[in-house]
Structure 1
Amino acid sequence: MVLLSVLLLLWGVPLLTATGRLRQLFLIDTQMPMNVAQNVCRKDYTDLVTIYDEEENNELVHILNNSVKSVSVSGWIGANSCKWSNGDPATFTNYSRTFTEEKCCGAINTGGRWECVNCNSTKMYFMCYDQDGKQSYNYSLIHENRSWFEAQIYCREKHTDLVSIRDETENKRVKEAVNGSNSFWIGLQYNYSLDWLDGGHSAYTQNSSSQACFTFLSRENNKLGGFWFKCNAGIYYALCYKSFIHVSEKNMSWDEARDYCNRNFSGLLRIESENDQKETERELKRRNISWPVWVGLKES
């Protein structure tokens, strides 16, 4: 008998949400930086929201308009087009006032601010990192003038990668490691593609431009809308989502899967509508699951 992963449904009772059977949207009514918003969403829900279509965009407008009484109100979403050389999304930024909105690579100046510099035509020193455990980085400033991509190759061959900066503390450490040197490359790549922080595969965009992080703007000067705005920093509400689809870590037969789901959750997943089918496909794709999984359908 072929054993398949078991797909199961987990139910909860959310507050401040848009309703949905397999996926629900939440507003965290506390303003916070983007990296904090992502941590909160991942701790208590699934992640910052990925927006798949205009209908969902409008649902988020409705949540913000009905939950926050303010002339202007914005919330973080999971759209991100700024990433580090090691593939991590940039959820903390420290752009200079002269940072331009174009494809470029990141350099840090003597003041600790990030500059947007042409990746190929400019050559400068660069900083690599070695990872000491899961959280700690060791930094090495390389005194060789190279393009960003040449620097990336060097760091990957001799260290871990070009340096990533995840928060203000790390930015300060990188700045101090410079010891008065001129600007040098860091691992930032800006405006190369629009990704979603949860790994979701959404082709929907509200505008054609993209930047390191977005705010979702619901209301500006009492005008309703659902516009995405670029933002380098700031504090906003968090728009999270929770998926009620769970995939087991172990393979089992259908009968074992049914017993497991009945014992621990609300039963094997029932696909009861086109929307259920769509949400299931999105969640499996987000998790990069391409193999078959059990659902609750059984021929009598």
Structure 2
Amino acid sequence: MGPSSLFWLLLWSPIFHLTLSTELRKFERLSVEKRNWKNGQTACADKNGHLVTLHNRYDAQLIHKLINRPGATAYLGLHEKKDAHQSEWSNGVEMTKWTTEANITYEQKCVAIQNNEWREQPCNETMYFMCYNISAYQLIEQKKDWCEARLYCRKHFTDLVSINNNNQNDEALRRGANRTFWIGLKHDNYQWEDGQCSTFREGITISAAGHKECAHQYEDNVVLDRCNNTHNIICMQGDTRITVPTDPLTWEEAYDYCKKNHDGLLFIRDQDEQLEVEKWLNATGVPGPVWLGLRQSRVLGFWFWSTIDQVVDFINWRDGPPELPLSYHCGAIDGRGTWSDVKCQTKLPALCIEDMYSTTD
């Protein structure tokens, strides 16, 4: 099912111009001398940003591209927690009565209920999960990693479920109906400087000297080393990242998928966002064309961003906006950042957006 009937009625209105408060992530490599981790953190804060958080291999590829020369390094936001070796619930409450063996190196361990017992699992595994709100627990039968599950619960409920007594545990087991599912307990010796949750830990090594306090990226690898060493600084601003569904989809399928699983199809409102998208496409090598949230009114002919119900203002079409009656009605972007109209039933990859700080409305 596509956009709502009310949305289509709004297209007839000359005042149709709604907005969503969100900002696409932007990355900037500072052209100053190398800094230690703390000074890098301060420099990014002065720009209203943070050291970089990696969520997936696309992020790692982008940072590799921004470092921009062989052998160069740049600090990331990953650093050792002051309260390492403690396990916490998703709501930040420390778990004191549970013994874990996950207090080694950079490992994350998250807890799932399996066969009615609590089991440690790598946090990047995907499985069902249980959310809660004031009145009830709810098993969500979608497979997500632990951080994705937490984000979903915070957007649609209150949080991943916390279990503090036998009655709560019995209720979780009853609601879980013998399924395997995440609960809100996680152990991690490390945290990202901006507070985001990420299960990405690929390619991490520890320095030869065994120091593992702060992380920097060297080409495609992440190295845990001393925080007082100096590296390049890349700052990150914005709260919305790009993510890519696994399978090619029609435009309507992509619209539904991105709305259900993330925060909608990607939209581009100005030249700055266009440049960031081009930078992302160039670094990650995602083949184009890929779907955007671009759609054309079949009646009035104007183009709009379906995700934010906003008429297109900034444009980057190959030959100007496609016009009725010869145009196709869905918009895509190629690997160089150029927009084009494509038949809506064509199956293409899609660019979804994810607001990393969303919480329950």
Greater RCO, 1 or 2 (C-alpha within 8 Å, sep 6+): 1
Same fold by TM-score greater than 0.5: no
Higher strand fraction (1 or 2): 1
What interval of TM-score do these two structures reach, taking the shorter chain for normalisation?
0.3 to 0.5
TM-score, normalised with respect to structure 2: 0.27
